[in-house]
Chain A
Amino acid sequence: MELRKSYFADVRKDDLHEIGQPRPRSDSPGHVTGKTAFFADRNFPGMLHLKMVRSPHHHARIRSIDTSEAEKHPGVVRVLTAKDVPHNVNTILILIQIGPEDETVLADGKVRWKGEAVVAVLAETERAAQEAAAKVKVDYEVLPAVFDMEEALKPGAPLVNEYHGQNYYLYDSGECRKVRFGDVEAGFAGADHILEQSYQSSPIEHAPTETTGCVVTPEGNDRFTCYTNTQAMFFTLDNTSIILQMPGSKLHFVGGTVGGGFGGKVDVIVEPIAILGAKLTGRPVCFIYSREEEMQISSPRAAEKVVIKDGVMKDGRIVARKVTGYTDAGAYSRHSPYGAQKGAGHYPGPYTIPNVWIDTYCVYTNRTPSSAMRGFGVTIGDFALEVQMDKLARLIGMDPLEFRFINAYRDGDMKAHRQPTEGAALIECMQEASRAANWPVAEKFMAMSSYVKGV
């Protein structure tokens, strides 16, 4: 491996002698010998199994819940409903002062997506828990549901989540996150060509080989040890402490070993209810998603729609860009308002465009709540932007790589969201890509620099 530090404006002087040298991973010996302890490898005597009764409807009012038959089922130790949860509100990002408090741990009065947790059953065996869960009777009044973001934003659409009062997240900037830079309409008016395209994506499931879950054991000293595969240990500690109204000093989380996460294990879902079960029964509790739950219940990457309108000159300069982005949060916020906000900052792409207008909406629908996944908020946007770049290059008959050189941001350029570009190295990266991919570009592009103006 070759390390070239010269790509960057502030060339590093320190000696990076570790780069390019193989070093054994510290966790590999455990992996290859089967000794690595994943959370489900913990087993405690008397451990109970938790199974969740889930909503079969996309949107419904809960008229009544009857757990009497389930409680009588052999092996059942405890059945939990909303009234058993001390503070029945799940707010993942409360630790960093981002709400909203729009989701319950166990459904209270209403369900807003198919699969929403309603009743938790704790039993001696997984089978008993499963059988008893099937005996819980929930009387639902089915309500109209909405699954499409643009439908959800229309007047008269079914209201997904009363907390918000409308089917979008209200930012401090209003109904969407906004970026305004230059005069986009003047940019379009002066452009040689206009190209407007829309791009859409479906939800994507992380599908880790190890499903989401935790094992909790009550310790003798009134504390609880929770072995978990969360990717967000401190969000989990903080939220569990709030939900259970229990000081953090009573909670001991053991984790860090995750059998594939990819963002799918960032939501705090299984731990609070499992710890509550352990508290109320005094027994160890195991709550592991089945493969079906992992695919249907755990939050996927949000579905997105991106509408991009660009004004471009025959010489290759993009002079105006207007983007409307929609992020499908599903029924609850989880991390989606943050994802939609990231998109707003990102949509100009790594290009310097003098006139930019961006609106990004975080929309609520009666779908599985979406959340974090590898670069959420920008990944689908990048797909849309780069396809758009290729289409623009084709429109003006220009090589797509040369077209990107013309528009690439360089150090000192002001980005649309008012951050000056620093340490870009995009030109240098594309020059290297041109060589590596044997995709030659004109000499003037190979002579360009991210750091020297006019070259």
Chain B
Amino acid sequence: MAKVPVQFTLNGSEKAEFVDSGTTLLHALRDKIGDTSPKGGCHQGTCGACSVIIDGELRLSCLTLAETCDGAVISTTSGLSDSGVLHPLQRAFLDTFATQCGFCTPGMIMAAKVLLDHTPNPSRDEVVEALSGNICRCTGYEPIIQAVLTAARSNSQNAA
């Protein structure tokens, strides 16, 4: 099968791959490029574990074809910390015990990041809405909501 060349920026680095037509971005990231932080929970766009940020928008990488990402700027949770210093969202998830099994965590953090990028001081309802596409089956939603609110507060304190 003819391969399709794809080039994009992943967490600040240039990446180029040849993929089969129809390959999902999730598959390309995990199995070709080796960034396993997006997780495959359902492969049908219902669980949110594969969430990544493409050109500033939250996307499900299991439903996104890799070949449509040519020239895109993509962020994943593995690229969030800066020189070993945790991003405020990562810090808040850690401090408020917002992880349990950890499988939904990278997707949750991506969803939360897009929210805070657009809405630096969200209400609780806005946090709930922003995370509504991400399933945590350990049902740790309350600490996750608290983590996002905590990160928003720490961001605004740093800005002040």
Which residues in A have some Cβ–Cβ distance to B below 8 Å?
22, 24-25, 27-38, 40-41, 43, 206-211, 257-262, 290-291
Contact = CB atoms under 8 A, between A and B. Distances in A.
Interface in B25-69: 30-31, 34-44, 46-47, 49
Interface residues of B, number: 39
A258 B106 CA distance: 15
A38 B103 contact: yes
B137 A209 contact: yes
Contact of B86 (A33, A206, A290): A33
Given A34-B78, A210-B41, A210-B103, 19 more contacts: A22-B97, A30-B102, A31-B93, A31-B105, A32-B99, A33-B78, A34-B105, A36-B102, A38-B36, A41-B36, A43-B34, A207-B137, A209-B47, A209-B49, A209-B101, A209-B104, A259-B39, A259-B103, A260-B137
* Complex A-B, nearest 9 residue pairs according to Cβ-Cβ distance, in ascending order: A34-B37, A259-B103, A31-B102, A41-B36, A34-B78, A32-B90, A31-B99, A34-B77, A291-B42
Nearest to A34: B37
Contacts of B135: 209
Contacts of B46: 291
A210 B39 contact: yes
Contacts of A27: 99, 102
B41 A211 contact: yes
A288 to B, nearest CB: 8
27 contacts: A27-B102, A28-B97, A29-B94, A30-B102, A31-B93, A31-B99, A31-B106, A32-B77, A32-B99, A33-B80, A33-B81, A34-B76, A35-B37, A40-B40, A43-B30, A206-B137, A208-B101, A209-B135, A210-B39, A210-B49, A210-B103, A211-B41, A257-B102, A258-B101, A259-B39, A291-B41, A291-B44
Contacts of A31: 93, 99, 102, 105-106
B78 A35 contact: yes
A209 B77 CA distance: 17
A41 B49 CA distance: 14
B94 to A, nearest CB: 5
B86 A260 contact: no
Interface of B: 30-31, 34-44, 46-47, 49, 76-78, 80-81, 86, 89-90, 93-94, 97, 99, 101-106, 109, 135-138
B84 to A, nearest CB: 10
A210 B101 contact: yes
Nearest to B38: A34
A290 B102 CA distance: 19
A28 B86 CA distance: 12
Contacts of A207: 137
A211 B42 CA distance: 8
User: Which of A36, A43, A262: most chain B CB closer than 10 A?
Assistant: A36
